[in-house]
């Protein structure tokens, strides 16, 4: 049974967005104010993670890769912080526990992929120390939500791969058991190939994450035949020692003859999906590294169903509670009194493409009452001349079905 994995963010789901911030922005605040901001981000991201898990379960996406910056700048030497310093740490912990429970009940697997600056075999001690600190932070978060994979690359070769791998082993041995038990190694698209890392993983009992796209980049697409993929896959599976193996797939943005085949395409081409993977009889995870995220997975799911590949489904299906329905509508007539003041409580927005109505949505123009909870921004009373411009800026929020493609659509506003 194959479970497909979604990586970090969504392409067309405006209701599932993780918050982040920058070190530069955080540096503007004193520590107390900075912690309040980070506290809110951490809480918001915990709720967003719960939404992401629910979406995955409802849409046959069996794995979700959590962004490694879900707690932004956590290990930064100046603006970094400890989770226990956050004012609402107990509330955040409760929501993260709910995430873990939801993932367990639905069967959605959670994974992480620490950033590229994690280099455990660096020639600089400060880089190794920072890498260890990052992995320890992520292992703490991983323990809270049930992440079982923290995947990293082999690091640099520094002119001698054999020496670099010895240094890598030394760096790995400095990790806590909590971090090391979740650590996996992946072949990259420049330095370490499966031939380099598989023997290392087998010797050090570290699960190997096989990235077939990276393999094709380093060895040449014509050299990575289906037989080669089958052999590497079989060896990779054994390194997981009975755990469910995890692998990666992607397609080149401009094809294998393009100038930069390492760059990922928006979707996955079935010509890049190894034939031997279609007949695998084990439970395994395949993270889809494509720029269109859940859209790419949806298309790939349909193609794999057509090929007869057994696919994962949730143990306890959930509803994602997001409205994906595109509803027909009549084109509203434009008002000729552009300067009149809006005294109506609702405005109907009609999206048109090629002069045909494709979607209509009615929103309130009345601000929420003081103290009321409001999930979407509401518009105050203003003139009909300025209202359409303001609403147009709000289109990505008000009409999520149109995503961010409002440049291709025209809009008509009808006040009720």
Token output for 96? 């993260």
Whether residues 28 and 168 fall in one domain: yes
Write down which residue in 256, 279, 306 finishes a domain: 306
Whether residues 27 and 171 fall in one domain: yes
State the total domains in the chain: 2
Domain for residue 330, yes or no? no
Domain for residue 321, yes or no? no
Question: At how many degrees (to 10) do helices 194-204 and 226-239 cross?
Answer: 20
Model confidence pLDDT, tens digit, residues 1-59: 999 999 999 999 888 999 999 999 999 999 999 999 999 999 999 999 999 999 999 99
Write down which residue in 291, 306, 321 finishes a domain: 306
pLDDT of 320 over the 80 cut? no
Whether residues 252 and 401 fall in one domain: no
Q: What is the pLDDT of residue 15?
A: 87
Whether residues 350 and 294 fall in one domain: no
The secondary structure of residue 232, as a DSSP letter, is H
pLDDT of 381 over the 70 cut? no
* Confidence category of residue 341, pLDDT binned at 50, 70, 90: very low
pLDDT of 358 over the 50 cut? no
Write down which residue in 290, 306, 322 finishes a domain: 306
* Direct distance between the N- and C-terminal alpha carbons of the chain, in angstroms, rounded to an integer: 52
Q: Please state whether beta strands 2-7 and 284-288 pair in parallel, antiparallel, or not at all (unpaired).
A: parallel
Whether residues 162 and 66 fall in one domain: yes
* 289 phi-psi bin (left φ>0, alpha ψ -120 to 50, beta other): beta
Number of helices (H), then strands (E), belonging to the chain: the values are 12, 11
Domain for residue 325, yes or no? no
Whether residues 250 and 353 fall in one domain: no
Domain for residue 41, yes or no? yes
Closest CA to 86 of 126, 36, 46, 33: 36
Question: From CA 313, how far away is CA 308, in angstroms rounded?
Answer: 15
Kindly state the average pLDDT of the residues 368-392. 41
Q: Tell me how crowded residue 233 is: count the other CB atoms within 10 A of its CB.
A: 20
Domain for residue 318, yes or no? no
* Confidence category of residue 283, pLDDT binned at 50, 70, 90: very high
Question: From CA 194, how far away is CA 197, in angstroms rounded?
Answer: 5
For residues 171 and 391, the model is more confident at: 171
Domain for residue 314, yes or no? no
Q: Tell me how crowded residue 226 is: count the other CB atoms within 10 A of its CB.
A: 11
Q: What is the pLDDT of residue 371?
A: 43
Q: Please state whether beta strands 109-112 and 63-66 pair in parallel, antiparallel, or not at all (unpaired).
A: parallel
Whether residues 209 and 351 fall in one domain: no
Task: Name the least confident of 193-207, 229-243, 370-384.
Answer: 370-384
Q: What is the pLDDT of residue 116?
A: 85
Kindly state the average pLDDT of the residues 192-207. 97
Q: What is the pLDDT of residue 315?
A: 84
Place of tokens 């023997």: 199
In terms of residue numbers, what domain contains 301? Answer: 2-306
Whether residues 183 and 293 fall in one domain: yes
Q: Tell me how crowded residue 189 is: count the other CB atoms within 10 A of its CB.
A: 19
For residues 364 and 192, the model is more confident at: 192
pLDDT of 310 over the 50 cut? yes
pLDDT of 354 over the 60 cut? no
Whether residues 292 and 351 fall in one domain: no
For residues 371 and 84, the model is more confident at: 84
pLDDT of 202 over the 60 cut? yes
Domain for residue 302, yes or no? yes
Q: What is the pLDDT of residue 115?
A: 87
Whether residues 277 and 392 fall in one domain: no
Whether residues 376 and 266 fall in one domain: no
Question: Contact 14/400 with Cβ under 8 angstroms?
Answer: yes
Domain for residue 215, yes or no? yes
Q: What are phi and psi of 305, to 5 degrees?
A: -60, -40
Mean pLDDT of all residues belonging to the chain: 83
pLDDT of 324 over the 90 cut? no
Token output for 347? 């405005």
Place of tokens 């303001």: 390
Q: What are phi and psi of 155, to 5 degrees?
A: 95, -150
pLDDT of 231 over the 70 cut? yes
Whether residues 141 and 259 fall in one domain: yes
Kindly state the average pLDDT of the residues 209-217. 98
The SS3 assignment for 32 reads helix
The kind and range of the H/E element at 401 are none
Q: What is the pLDDT of residue 349?
A: 57
Q: What is the percentage of the chain residues whose pLDDT exceeds 90?
A: 74
Kindly state the average pLDDT of the residues 98-105. 97
For residues 75 and 352, the model is more confident at: 75
The SS3 assignment for 346 reads strand
Q: Which CATH number covers residue 101?
A: 3.20.20.150
């Amino acid at each position: 049974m194959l479970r497909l994995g979604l990586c970090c963010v969504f392409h067309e789901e405006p209701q599932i967005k993780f918050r982040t911030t920058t070190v530069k922005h955080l540096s503007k605040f004193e520590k107390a104010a900075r912690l309040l901001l980070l506290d809110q981000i951490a809480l918001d991201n915990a709720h967003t993670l719960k939404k992401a898990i629910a979406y995955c379960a409802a849409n046959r996406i069996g794995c979700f890769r959590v962004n490694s910056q879900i707690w932004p700048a956590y290990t930064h030497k100046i603006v970094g912080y400890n989770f226990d310093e956050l004012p609402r740490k107990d509330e955040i912990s409760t929501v993260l526990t709910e995430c873990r429970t939801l993932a367990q009940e639905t069967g959605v697997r959670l994974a992480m992929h620490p950033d590229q600056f994690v280099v455990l075999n660096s020639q600089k001690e400060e880089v190794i120390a920072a890498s260890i600190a990052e992995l320890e932070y992520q292992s703490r978060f991983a323990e809270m939500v049930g992440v079982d994979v923290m995947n990293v690359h082999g690091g640099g070769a520094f002119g001698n791969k054999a020496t670099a791998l010895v240094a890598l082993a030394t760096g790995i041995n400095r990790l806590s058991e909590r971090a090391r038990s979740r650590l996996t190694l992946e072949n990259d698209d420049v330095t370490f190939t499966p031939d380099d890392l598989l023997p290392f993983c087998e010797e050090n009992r570290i699960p190997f994450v096989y990235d077939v796209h990276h393999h094709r980049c380093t060895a040449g697409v014509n050299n990575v035949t289906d037989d080669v993929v089958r052999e590497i896959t079989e060896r990779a599976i054994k390194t997981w020692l009975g755990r469910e193996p995890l692998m990666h797939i992607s397609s080149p943005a401009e094809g294998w003859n393009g100038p930069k085949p390492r760059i990922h395409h928006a979707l996955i081409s079935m010509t890049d999906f190894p034939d031997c993977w279609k007949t695998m009889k084990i439970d395994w995870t395949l993270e889809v590294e494509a720029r269109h995220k859940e859209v790419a997975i949806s298309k790939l799911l349909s193609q794999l169903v057509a090929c007869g590949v057994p696919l994962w489904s949730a143990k306890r299906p959930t509803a994602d509670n997001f409205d994906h329905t595109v509803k027909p509508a009549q084109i509203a007539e434009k008002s000729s009194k552009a300067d009149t003041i809006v005294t109506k409580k609702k405005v109907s927005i009609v999206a048109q493409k090629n002069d045909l109505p494709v979607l209509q949505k009615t929103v309130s123009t009345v601000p929420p009452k003081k103290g009321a909870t409001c999930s979407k921004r509401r518009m105050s009373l203003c003139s009909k001349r300025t209202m359409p411009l303001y609403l147009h800026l709000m289109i990505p929020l008000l009409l999520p079905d149109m995503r961010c493609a409002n440049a291709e659509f025209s809009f008509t506003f009808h006040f009720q």
